[in-house]
Structure 1
Amino acid sequence: MNKVAVVTGSGAGLGKGIALQLAKDGFKVVLQDINQDTLKSTEEEFKNDGYEVTSIAGDVSKRDSHTEFVKAAVDHFGQLDVYVNNAGIDIVAPFIETTEEQMNKIFAINVNGVMFGTQAAARQFMDQGTKGKVLNACSIAGHESYEMLGAYSATKHAVKSLTHSASKEFAKENITVNAYCPGVAKTEMWDRIDAEMVRYNDDMEPGDAFEEFSSAISLGRYQEPQDVANLVSFLASDQADYITGQAIVTDGGLVYR
C-alpha cells in the first residue's frame, strides 16, 4: 500500500487508536494534536514500532491549520488519501447554565474543525485528481440528544449534517464523506463527563454516570478504542468505496437507528 492518512486529535484516546490501526493497515500517517507533548510521545511510540508517521501540532478550529496538516502529508509522503476529522471536545453543563463562551468553543472545534478539515482535504484530492475519503467523528449524540450534554449533542448533530451535505457535493469528484459514531468508551473524555455529571448531581458517586450509560449496552461491555478503529479502518479502505453520506453507529447496541 502507498496511501496516506491525516488523523486529527490523534495524540491519545480514540484518535490514537484510529491512527494506530491505519498504520497497521499500511497507511503512512500524519498524527495531529494540540498537545505537543502528547503528540511527540505518540509519534515516538509509533516510530519505535516501525510505522511510517510524522506529526504536526495545531488548532483544528482554525481554517489555515488544516491547510498546514494537508501540506505536511504531501510534503512528507507525497499525497493524501484519507482525512480523519477526529478532534473534538465535550462540555457537560445544565442547559440553562451553558455559557456563550462554552458554545463558541465547542462549535469552533467540533463543527468548524470538521468543515475546515473537509474543505482542505477535498481541495487536495481534486488537485491530485484522485479519489479521496473524509471521515468525521460524530457520536451517538449525533443521533440522540442527551441531558447535560446539550451543546455537545448539538455539535454532533451538526457534524452529521455536514457529512450529508459534503458527500452530496463531492460525489462527482469521487470523494466520499462518512462519519463514525462511537458510544460509551473508557477514555479521558468519558472520565471528564463522569466527573462533571457527579458535580451537578449530589445523588451520584464517581463512576455512576459511566456505569449508567454503559450498563444499557446490549453487548454487555463498554467500548474500546479498537472498536472504533475497526470501523474507521473499513471506511478508509477500498472496500468502502461505494459508501458515502453515512453516519454509522458503533456502540455495542445502545442507540438504534
Structure 2
Amino acid sequence: MSLAVSSLGVAVVTGAARGIGRAVALRLAKDGYDVGLNDLPTAAESLEGVAKEITALGRRPYIALGDVSVSANVQNILSTTVENLGELNVLSEWDKVLSVNALSTFLCYKYAALQMIKQGKGGSIIGASSVAGRQAYANAALYSASKFAIRGLTQAAGK
C-alpha cells in the first residue's frame, strides 16, 4: 500500500537536469505532481539524480531525453511521458520560451547582419520586445527574462 498522496496530475519539465528546470521539477513533485523530466542526452546522469529526488518525495518521475528544438523529439517526449505516467496536465518549457524569444532573435540578427555586410550597403535591424523587457512581472518570470534578453541583444547589436 502506497502512502503517497494521489497525484494532482502529470507535469513535463524541459531543461530539468539542473538550475531552474530542476527546481521547477522538484517543486511540482512537492506540490503533488508526477513529473516527466526532459533534457539533452548528455544530462542523463543529472536527470537520474532528479528522478531519485522525485521518487523520495513520493511522486513518479519519467525521464524522456531529447533536444526540444526538434519537433519530432518534443512529440516523442510528450507521448512517451503520457504512456508512462498516464496523462499531461502541466508543461514547463523554460528552454522553449527562451529559444523562441531570445535565441530566434539572436539568429535573425546574426544572419540579417551577415547579409547586409555581404551587400555592402548597410541597413537597419529593428528589434521589438515588450514592456516585460523593462519591467518584470511575478507571474511571467520566464516571459520577462526572455524579453529582457531581446532588449540586451538589441542594445548590444547596435554598438
Range class of TM-score, shorter chain: 0.5 to 0.7
Identity of aligned residues (%): 28
CA radius of gyration, larger in: 2
CA shift in 2, pair 1:38/1:80, >3 Å: same
Aligned residue for 1:4, secondary structure, equals strand
Alignment partner of 2:26 out of 11, 20, 25: 20
State TM-score, norm by structure 1. Answer: 0.38
How far apart, CA to CA, are the structure 1 residues paired with 2:146 and 2:76? 30
For the Cα contact (< 8 Å) 1:8–1:31, is it kept in 2? Answer: yes
Q: 1:37 aligns with which of 45, 59, 62?
A: 45
Partner amino acid, structure 2, of 1:48: A
Structure number with higher helix proportion:
2
Kept in 2, the 8 Å contact 1:5–1:73? The answer is no
Structure 1: gaps spanning 5 or more residues: 101-134, 154-257
Structure 1 residue aligned with 2:80, among 63, 69, 72? 72
Q: Say which structure is richer in strand.
A: 1
Contact 1:29–1:52 (Cα < 8 Å) also in 2: yes
Following superposition, the deviation at residue 141 of structure 1 comes to 4.3
1:83 and 2:88 aligned? no
Q: 1:67 to 1:136 in 2, by over 3 A?
A: farther
Gaps of 5+ in 2: 1-6, 112-139
CA RMSD of aligned residues (A): 3.2
What secondary structure sits across from 1:138 in the alignment? helix
Q: Deviations over 1:27-77 (max 9, x none)?
A: 111011112222122212322343211111100110011111111221112
Q: How many correspondences in the alignment?
A: 111
Could you give the per-residue CA deviations for residues 4-35 of structure 1, whole angstroms, max 9, x where no partner exists? 11010011100111111111111111011112
